[in-house]
């Protein structure tokens, strides 16, 4: 029987303190990479993977996200009157269909696991995706689409992974690997930010997940983990042995846009990859180096 991943959760309740003062009045997910906010890249990635329903787990001060994924009638009317059809078409192209977007409040910053748990009633009893907008991925085929392609082969829980230098393991959740064919790696365990000498591998977890709904039963317990928060990785680790668990080495380049340097690098890479401005961006960059 084929498996369709129809729903995706976008945890967007974070405060974005590392980007203050820019994020004082604007959600960090609305920070633009070139000319598009981070959260739009995540939604477009989900759309490319066949996602039909988009669930945002928000917090206070996030109404700009809701407005972004809605029609702006005044703006659209102005563009139409001025004959800016290309801009108007681009504005409408990526909007989800009416009734396909839902919002729920996390209400307290209690961790990624808690954010995912807040969407449980909107997900129901079917596999679903989770995308973290801070992890921006430049790829010919979207990272989530690659995961959805591979998912029917293994089922259970799946995470996106990439190999990192051993000295960087303390920045990531690290996989304790089993069978590994170079693309799919069996997850025997997860270790949160181990020191290089204690890391079981250099296979790091990236912010893309395809999960079984049974994960909610573990999140229901409200068990606090690292930082006193409800951690998604703890719930996934508790399911090892009860459900298949694999990591997919995706094809593409990941940028950590929760970090200022990573965000800057993403702007460079995405500008250079654009056919309309790539050459000009390269010339501008060369003038500084």
More confident residue, 231 or 29: 29
286 within domain boundaries: no
284 within domain boundaries: no
288 within domain boundaries: no
pLDDT at residue 228, as a whole number:
73
Class of residue 68 by CB neighbours under 10 A (exposed 0-12, middle 13-18, buried 19+)? middle
CA-closest candidate to residue 124, choices 55, 68, 201:
55
pLDDT confidence of 220, banded at 50, 70, 90?
confident
Taking the model in full, what pTM does it have?
0.93
283 within domain boundaries: no
1 within domain boundaries: no
152 within domain boundaries: yes
Three-state secondary-structure class, residue 257: coil
| Percentage of the residues of the chain whose pLDDT score is greater than 90 | 78
Tens-digit pLDDT profile for residues 169-205: 998 889 999 999 989 999 999 888 889 999 999 999 9
Residue span of the structural domain in which 142 resides:
7-278
Tens-digit pLDDT profile for residues 58-72: 988 889 999 999 999
184 vs 159: CA distance, rounded Å: 10
More confident residue, 136 or 221: 136
Average model confidence (pLDDT) for the chain? 92
pLDDT confidence of 223, banded at 50, 70, 90?
confident
Q: Read off the pLDDT of each residue in 155-163 and give the average, rounded to a whole number.
A: 95
DSSP state of 89: H
180 vs 187: CA distance, rounded Å: 9
DSSP secondary structure, 23-41, as one string: TSSS-GGG-EETTEEHHHH
Neighbours of 248 (CB within 10 A): 23
Answer yes or no: is pLDDT of 111 > 80: yes
CA 244 from centre of chain: 22
2 within domain boundaries: no
Answer yes or no: is pLDDT of 208 > 70: yes
The encoded tokens of residue 207 equal 């912010």
DSSP state of 108: S
pLDDT at residue 233, as a whole number:
87
Instruction: For residue 183, give the CATH number of its domain.
Output: 3.90.550.10
Query: Please, which residues bridge with residue 58 across strands?
Result: 105
CA-closest candidate to residue 215, choices 138, 83, 124:
124
123 vs 114: CA distance, rounded Å: 14
pLDDT at residue 2, as a whole number:
59
Q: What is the tally of structural domains in the chain?
A: 1
285 within domain boundaries: no
CA-closest candidate to residue 175, choices 149, 150, 205:
205
29 vs 134: CA distance, rounded Å: 7
Q: Read off the pLDDT of each residue in 147-154 and give the average, rounded to a whole number.
A: 94
Phi and psi, residue 178, nearest 5°? -110, -125
CA angle 39-40-45, nearest 5°?
Answer: 100
CA-closest candidate to residue 251, choices 143, 132, 130, 159:
143
Neighbours of 181 (CB within 10 A): 8
Three-state secondary-structure class, residue 192: strand
């Amino acid at each position: 029987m084929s498996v369709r991943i129809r729903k995706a959760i976008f945890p967007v309740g974070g405060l974005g303190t590392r980007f203050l003062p820019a994020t004082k009045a604007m959600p960090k997910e609305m920070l633009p990479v070139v000319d598009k906010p981070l959260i739009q890249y995540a939604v477009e990635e989900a759309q490319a993977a066949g996602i039909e329903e988009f669930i945002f787990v928000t917090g206070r001060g996030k109404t700009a996200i809701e407005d972004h994924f809605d029609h702006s009638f005044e703006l659209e009317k102005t563009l139409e009157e001025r004959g800016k059809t290309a801009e108007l078409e681009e504005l409408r192209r990526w909007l989800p269909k009416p009734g396909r977007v839902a919002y729920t409040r996390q209400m307290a910053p209690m961790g990624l696991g808690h954010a995912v748990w807040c969407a449980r009633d909107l997900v129901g009893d079917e596999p679903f995706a989770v995308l973290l907008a801070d992890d921006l991925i430049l790829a010919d085929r979207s990272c989530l689409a690659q995961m959805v392609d591979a998912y029917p082969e293994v089922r259970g829980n799946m995470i996106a992974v990439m190999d990192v230098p051993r000295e960087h393991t303390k920045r990531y959740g690290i996989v304790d690997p089993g069978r590994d064919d170079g693309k799919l790696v069996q997850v025997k365990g997860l270790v949160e930010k181990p020191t290089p000498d204690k890391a079981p591998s250099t296979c790091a977890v990236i912010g893309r997940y395809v999960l079984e709904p049974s994960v909610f039963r573990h999140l229901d317990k409200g068990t606090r983990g690292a930082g006193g928060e409800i951690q998604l990785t703890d719930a996934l680790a508790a399911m090892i042995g009860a459900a298949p668990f694999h990591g997919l080495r995706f094809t593409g380049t990941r940028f950590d846009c929760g970090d200022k340097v990573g965000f800057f690098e993403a702007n460079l890479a995405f500008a250079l990859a654009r056919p309309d401005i790539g050459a000009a961006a390269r010339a501008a960059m060369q003038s500084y180096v």
